[in-house]
Amino acid sequence: MPARKQKVVIVGAGIAGSLIAAGLKDRGDVELICLERVGTADHAEAGTGLNIGPNALKALDLHLPESAALIRANSLPWESWRISLTNGRTLMDLKLGSLAENSGIRIRWAELYSLLRTAVSPHVRYNAELVGCGRDESGPYVDWKDTITGAVERIGGIDLLIAGDGRYSLIRQFVLGEEEKPFFLGVCLYRVLFPAGPDCPLDDYAQWFNGANRLLAFRVPGDLIYCAGSFPIPAESGIPDEMKQREFLGRVYLPEEGEPSPEAAYLIDAIQRYADRIHWARLQDGSVAYGRERGILLVGDSAHPMVPTLGQGATQACEDACVVVDEIKAALDAGRPLADISERVEARRAERVRFVVQFSRDATDTMLAGADPVAGTLRKTEPEFQAKLKSLYCDVPLPAGAAA
């Protein structure tokens, strides 16, 4: 074993960062530091929810079972995927158990962050904003600012720097330099979380289309509803202000013929009522990159910005964390330098994630301008799409040395 503890610095206590920290926190042969820009009680994305796919839970069961149990105990199961038109016509009603070996989960972002960060809190420096990174003769380094005091500190001599600081990662920019612009799909995606109320007709994951305009919603713990609405916009433009108004949101999902279904009517009313809580964004993805710089590893959205159409953003962050912990433990046990981890993770993850990024983009077809949601959804019930979905849900990374 090395004479000194090898130093691992994780930037970002998001899903991947917190899970990696959880997998390493009890190791006596590693110095573990995690930098998180928000405070202990401030959880980014606190106003929304998310679903995590069956593949994440399968991977966590294999690699990080304590984390898997913690997440399951504080979430609701994701067991079905139903697609309808806003007039009530059902197009697809998929039971995930027909393709996956276990269910996924539904949870609030704030709850998930709180669970994961609390488990590794002794290793996290909160209110620590990354302001610079680079490499010198002793290896990678990071400069971070205490957002309360304004003091800037450098951490150098890093054996492995892990970037879990999101799709706009400063470390990703350092590693890739002037990379290509994000690919915008021409879709506005907004998100809102609100109380379910006594007459809520919603439960598990479901979608409703009116042309290419889509509503997605499901219940999360706390008797809350998470809703993600979308509609096409020009690919290279921002979201027009008129499309953010209650009047527009109230009519864009109304079917041309007939009345909206009870579920669609409930959501249309709630979106207008809680319009001031909406988080606005545009669908985009980018290139996959993990280990192009020795001793620096990108994970989660830093490694593979993707569209959330199949619920794989946070899910792939979980898969990333499993492989990273697996590789770090193996290197520490063998006395190998951690600087080589980035290349090994790239070799294990890149092909799988490129498949997921492309599959997620392809599955967005029904949300694009001029799309036919009936024909597009029916294609999702055919063997080719279902086979890809089964591969997505089942072909998770195994522990090193495990039989496939």
pLDDT band at residue 181 using 50, 70 and 90 as cut-offs: confident
Question: Whole-number mean pLDDT of the chain?
Answer: 94
Whose structure tokens read 């330099």?
A: 177
Task: Report the alpha-carbon angle 375-377-379, nearest 5.
Answer: 70
What's residue 3's pLDDT? Answer: 60
pLDDT tens readout for residues 234-248: 887 889 999 999 999
pLDDT band at residue 167 using 50, 70 and 90 as cut-offs: confident
What's residue 113's pLDDT? Answer: 94
pLDDT tens readout for residues 62-81: 999 999 999 999 999 999 99
What's residue 235's pLDDT? Answer: 82
Note whether 339 and 293 are within 8 A (CB): no
pLDDT tens readout for residues 78-116: 999 999 999 999 999 999 999 999 999 999 999 999 999
Q: Is the pLDDT of residue 264 over 90?
A: yes
* CA-closest candidate to residue 247, choices 214, 275, 226: 275
Measured between alpha carbons, how far is 164 from 320 in angstroms, rounded to an integer? 10
CATH number of 6-77+106-181+285-363: 3.50.50.60
Stretch 11-19: mean pLDDT: 97
What's residue 42's pLDDT? Answer: 67
pLDDT tens readout for residues 31-47: 999 999 998 776 544 56
pLDDT tens readout for residues 134-154: 999 999 999 999 999 999 999
> Domain ranges in the chain?
6-77+106-181+285-363
pLDDT band at residue 53 using 50, 70 and 90 as cut-offs: very high
Measured between alpha carbons, how far is 348 from 80 in angstroms, rounded to an integer? 30
**Which residues, in sequence order, are bridge partners of residue 106?**
51, 76
What's residue 292's pLDDT? Answer: 83
pTM of the shown model: 0.95
pLDDT band at residue 377 using 50, 70 and 90 as cut-offs: very high
What's residue 46's pLDDT? Answer: 54
Which residue did the predictor score with more confidence, 368 or 47? Answer: 368
CB atoms within 10 A of CB 344: 21
CB atoms within 10 A of CB 25: 15
* CA-closest candidate to residue 249, choices 307, 191, 184, 197: 191
Note whether 39 and 149 are within 8 A (CB): no
What's residue 404's pLDDT? Answer: 53
Stretch 213-229: mean pLDDT: 97
Q: Is the pLDDT of residue 127 over 90?
A: yes
pLDDT band at residue 1 using 50, 70 and 90 as cut-offs: very low
Q: Is the pLDDT of residue 180 over 70?
A: no
What's residue 256's pLDDT? Answer: 87
Task: Name every residue whose Cβ is closer than 8 Å to that of residue 242 and which is 6 or more positions away in sequence.
Answer: 248
Q: Is the pLDDT of residue 371 over 50?
A: yes
pLDDT tens readout for residues 307-348: 999 999 999 999 999 999 999 999 999 999 999 999 999 999
CB atoms within 10 A of CB 29: 14
Task: Name every residue whose Cβ is closer than 8 Å to that of residue 403 and which is 6 or more positions away in sequence.
Answer: none
What's residue 219's pLDDT? Answer: 98
Q: How many residues does the chain have?
A: 404
Measured between alpha carbons, how far is 371 from 85 in angstroms, rounded to an integer? 13
What's residue 182's pLDDT? Answer: 85
